[in-house]
Structure 1
Amino acid sequence: MAPVRRTTLELDSETVQQIIQDLNPGFVASGFARLHGGSTEVYRIDLANTGRESLVLKIYPDEPEWGPAKEKLVAGWFSQLTQLAPNWLEIDQSRTLLPLRYALLPLLPGRSLRDWMVAPDIEEAYQQMGELLRSIHEMPMPAYGYIVGQGIDRPKSTNTEYITSAFEDVFRRFRDFGGDADLGRHLQLLAEGSFDLLRESSGAVLCHDDFHQGNVLALRDGTGRLRLSGLIDFGNARAADRFFDLAKALFCSAHEDPRSYRSILQGYGPTDHPDIERALWLYTLFHRLSMWCWLTKLGLDSKSDNGPGELIRDIRKMTTRPGRCYDEA
């Protein structure tokens, strides 16, 4: 595996000032600080005497080269669907002020929903997550596929073509990274037994594909109600079946807090799918296998009790009860 380039930078006040003045010559930085919790390096920049409270400086690694353009493109789509998504203000790929590419965007209000998980009304916020995800899925896409800087990469015309190809790829990677061969063959047979459900897709829609507590912000409003205030991190976005995205959201969110599963489903609302539990099982199997491959590629021990090992335990449980993803499902 090729080494991952570090993006850690030693920012100074002079450089920060130059960065924001490229956006607006009248801006003056009153301070800056690293924001934690994301997969990329992000800073808050406070402004003085502008009427705008703060900006976010997001720094991108060298790869993928289309990363900044993708996030700007997708953020524009999301902002058409919800006021919770920020618009990218500027992308700089010149490497004149910093050795890496970066973007500037508004700082959204609130804190990560992870910070609110002990709140007594957290389940109401999870219902709002379900409502938000359903509103995102109102945007139709012209084809199925992963989104890059210019749009959908290698678009597929049907859900069946897209997902069967994705499963072929994830099973190959599972084998290449040392996954149990017998388990892989058994999983492949189980998955193929549910491929008939792929025809039930009502069409490709915009999918966040990383929708969980860490990428949703919340605050208390004037009445004391906990409400969502922001949606961030569009680097995984793709065009896919809505239940592919719902399954990913349930998988990631329930891993952090099992209470979120039922509340997100409740907020998402009724569906007209003929076998929603089996569809969620199929898509969740894909997401768990993909996560196992990603963590293993990062160098985590594939047999460790946490991380890849925990995923394998969950995947083995899925083989004993096709159609059920979780104990509470």
Structure 2
Amino acid sequence: MFGALPIAYFSQKYGIRNGLVILFTTRSIAFFLLSLTNSFICAIGIASLVGLLSRGTAPLIESALVMDADNNITVKMLATLRMIRNIGFAAGGIPAGYTVWVNTTAGYRVIIAISSLIFLLAAIICWQFQNKNIHFQKPHSLLKIVLKNYPFIVLTSVYSLAILSAILLGIGIPLWIIHKSHVPSWTVGLIQTLNTFLVVLLQRQVSKNTEQIKVSISRFQLGVTFAAIGSGILFLAGENSSSIINMFFVIIIVIAFTFAELFIIAGAEGMSLSYIPEGQRTVYFAILNLGFAAATVIGPPLATITSTGTAWWWLIWALFFSCLVPVINFLPKPSTL
């Protein structure tokens, strides 16, 4: 949360290409040092630096792709980017999972060093980009302008609440499988596999026409509705169902929460394009990403409490998401700017 805006300001002043090159080079150096260190304290420090930089990278990549594109092209490119990113998660998960299975110090050092080389390659690729000049405003004046755009701030706040469903999918459901269900723990891997498959298959279709404000609102609402349905099913699953029934529940739940993630992100990003002034996408994308960053801060402890507590917590989540659905319809429209 602390890294996104300063990185966006820097890149808006000195160019997105330069920002990406510096980010990827720094991350490459950090991963290389991480592969060498024997100190836990140093490892935590380096990992914190990587985390600080990683949240600021996505808005820059998005801005580099869609800086001069109209909204129709933008939603298609952002959908393709999310699809490729999920393929990357799956591709990276294979060697990472094998490394964890082998469980040797040398294996961990090698996989982290390979990551360092990948970031270095990314920096070299980004250096080939054109370093487009962006109209620069001082951070304090730009922040005032963004904060005055209250419809966008409200949208970001609601998005941060809705995207908590993705944290429940990534953390809450695996913990529920381990602690509460009667299915084998290996099914935790099924979540990532099924989620990646559905995202790659459906991402572009879900994002179609979301540059239109009415379409993006309906997709946003549909995503939150899926989150409510998934939470309701988890409540009904309870703790005492048989392994076969719970396996069926796991598949349905993962599909519901994956659809929630797909529709929420597509809807929120599509809506955001209508709120962003021309030439300010870098900073506005960074602020929208803060909504997800906020969810990653408050979401994990809530997901842990929910998954290790009683089934009633899932009912609370179902009611929470159900109440959020009509709120989206009353978000301030861009015309109020």
- Give the TM-score normalised by the residue count of structure 1: 0.26
Q: Kindly indicate whether structure 1 or structure 2 has the higher relative contact order, using CA contacts under 8 Å at least 6 residues apart.
A: 2
Instruction: Judging by fraction of residues, say which structure has more helix.
Output: 2
- Give the TM-score normalised by the residue count of structure 2: 0.26
Instruction: Judging by fraction of residues, say which structure has more strand.
Output: 1
